[in-house]
A and B are shown apart, each in its own frame.
Chain A
Amino acid sequence: MMKIMLRTGVLALALVLAGCAVPQRNVDYSAFRESNPASILVLPPLNISVEPAASAAVLAQATYPLAESGYYVVPVALMEETFRQNGLFTADEIHAVPAAKLREIFGADAALYMTVKQYGSSYRVVTSSTIVEIDAALVDLRTGAKLWDGTKVVAQRSDGGGGGLLGMLVQAIVDQVVNTLSDRSYALAGMADQMLLRAGQPGGLLYGPRSAHYATQ
């Protein structure tokens, strides 16, 4: 029993650390630097998880890390409302809109295409845990060139305090992020957004023009 707990703990820790210290992949930032985007349009994420609310939770909380990284982020609800007015109701339809058209309407330099791959309770990685997994790609709307992509998985044990290192660890962070909404998955989605989209981490986005770190990178 002890052995199993220990093994789970090690696995869990490895999972977190893997999400944190991104294995050094050689990211080519030349296109990103050349594009030098100042504004980002975050499109409604594709959702291949089983939870319908996943898209809204991930979309609503993507503005924070991007804006704090120095970018202007197109107002999210207005963006979705605009697509609705034009008869586009699903993320699939919206992701198929040509870059030039998005540029024409929203005036953004780049668009963020996200996919929510897992959201909510899952039994795949760690037994009985809440998991959020997101893929993202940043595309220049003036040229259509891909500037960056990344992926992030965050997990939280759902059995409270006794649940191993990962549970305690994520719990501590989640508690301080959002207390206004009781939805744990929502809080975890916000964490995943932050860990994926905050500039300044290995393999992460570059800082945008509004950040104090912009000139120093």
Chain B
Amino acid sequence: MLNKSTAAVCIGRVRRGLRLLAICGTSGALAACVQAPKDMYSWQAYQPSVYAYLQDDGADYAAQAKALEQNIEVARSSSAVLPPGFRAHLGLLYLKMGEDNKAVEQFESEKIAFPEASPFVDFLLRNASALKTQAKEPSSVESLEGAPAPGQPASPPATKHGA
């Protein structure tokens, strides 16, 4: 039941002599349990990028977006499928960078790839202007859905997020 990568780890540790048997034996048992066959999706930087975003450690949105753009090329060249959330996450990064059109494009492609995403993506498109207002780098690009730009008086009170 050893999968390829587990086997590789084991082979790489041949120098460790006797320990090898123990490691291969037990990690084989564990691999049978964790079970990592061929992935359905091409994950690449998606989860680390989400982690960086959640950590809010002054991450550079442009650099992250660029990494994900490269991931798309890699996936395309190997006919691999991008995982759920990948495109929407890239869309969020674009939104934070003020690149609204590219953001909407990614949101729409998330919906096409995964119809399950439709309700949330539609919700986002209706509320994208609100997401944008908390961008670290304020942009002068027009808000989505024709909503008034931040700073201008809006018909409903736009100060929902205080706390």
Contacts and interface: CB of A to CB of B under 8 A. Distances in A.
Interface string A74-93: 11111011101111010000
B62 interface: no
A169 interface: yes
A53 B5 CA distance: 29
Interface string B37-57: 001110101111011011100
Contact of A59 (B43, B54, B89): B54
Contacts of B163: 87, 89
B44 to A, nearest CB: 10
Contacts of B5: 176
Given A21-B33, A210-B40, A60 B47 contact: yes
Interface string A104-124: 011110000000000000000
Interface residues of B, number: 56
Contact of B83 (A61, A67, A180, A190): A67
Among A55, A77, A85, A89, chain B packs the most CB atoms within 10 A around the CB of: A77
Interface string A171-188: 011011010110000100
B67 to A, nearest CB: 11
Q: Give the contact-size bracket for chain A.
A: 35 or more
B35 interface: yes
B89 A75 contact: yes
Interface of B: 5-6, 8-10, 13, 16, 19, 22-23, 26-27, 29-31, 33-36, 39-41, 43, 45-48, 50-51, 53-55, 83-85, 88-89, 91-92, 110, 114, 116-120, 123-124, 127, 130-131, 134, 160-163
26 contacts: A60-B50, A63-B46, A63-B84, A63-B85, A64-B83, A67-B83, A74-B85, A75-B110, A77-B50, A78-B89, A81-B134, A82-B123, A85-B127, A89-B163, A106-B119, A165-B26, A168-B23, A169-B30, A172-B27, A176-B5, A176-B8, A176-B9, A190-B47, A191-B34, A195-B33, A200-B35
Interface of A: 13, 16, 20-21, 38-39, 53, 55-57, 59-61, 63-64, 67-68, 70-78, 80-82, 84-87, 89, 105-108, 161, 165, 168-169, 172-173, 175-176, 178, 180-181, 186, 190-191, 194-195, 198, 200-201, 210-211
7 smallest beta-carbon distances between A and B, as pairs: A107-B119, A75-B85, A60-B51, A72-B116, A75-B88, A56-B54, A39-B116
